[in-house]
């Protein structure tokens, strides 16, 4: 039962470098999300996707890009990394809608700790 898998778990970047955080889920969920969590804070939504080929901005999208070419994968790209992007990043997925058997629960990956120096 893999669930939501994120890679890498840890990464150190230099200012101006770029990288991609990978996220894949094996639950056939339509909805996928990227959050960031700064120290001692709650989770802020960066981007989300309601299905393959469809993405939209969340609360804090600046400095990030996403794509959703398949149902399973939802990579998050950081272009020109900045110290302000030092954070823990969580990917999550869920079923669509709030009706029927859908419990509304989001399933989270274990997080990726990114440090930009």
Partner 1 sequence: AQTVTQSQPEMSVQEAETVTLSCTYDTSENNYYLFWYKQPPSRQMILVIRQEAYKQQNATENRFSVNFQKAAKSFSLKISDSQLGDTAMYFCASRGGATNKLIFGTGTLLAVQP
Q: Is the peptide bond before 8 cis (omega within 30 degrees of 0)?
A: yes
| Pick 17 or 111: Cβ nearer partner 1 | 111
| Pick 2 or 42: Cβ nearer partner 1 | 42
Q: Which residues pair with 51 in a beta bridge?
A: 54
Q: Point out which residues bind partner 1 (CB under 8 A).
A: 31, 33, 35, 40-45, 48, 50, 56, 58-59, 88, 90, 92, 94, 96-98, 103-106, 108, 110-111
Long-range contacts of 79-82 (CB under 8 A, 24+ apart): 79/18, 80/16, 80/17, 80/18, 81/13, 81/14, 81/15, 81/16, 81/17, 81/18, 81/19, 81/116, 82/15, 82/116
| Pick 79 or 110: Cβ nearer partner 1 | 110
| Pick 82 or 88: Cβ nearer partner 1 | 88
Kindly state the smallest distance separating residue 44's Cβ from partner 1, in Å: 8
Kindly state the smallest distance separating residue 83's Cβ from partner 1, in Å: 21
């Amino acid at each position: 039962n893999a669930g939501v898998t994120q890679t890498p778990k840890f990464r150190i970047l230099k200012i101006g470098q770029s990288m991609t955080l990978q996220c894949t889920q094996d639950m056939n969920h339509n909805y996928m999300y990227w959050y960031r969590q700064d120290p001692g804070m709650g989770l802020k939504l960066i981007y989300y996707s309601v299905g393959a080929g469809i993405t939209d901005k969340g609360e804090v999208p600046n400095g990030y890009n996403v794509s959703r070419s398949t149902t399973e994968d939802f990579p998050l790209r950081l272009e020109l990394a900045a110290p302000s992007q030092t954070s823990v990043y969580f990917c999550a997925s869920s079923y669509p809608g709030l009706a029927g058997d859908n419990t509304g629960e989001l399933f989270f990956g274990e997080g990726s700790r990114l440090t930009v120096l």
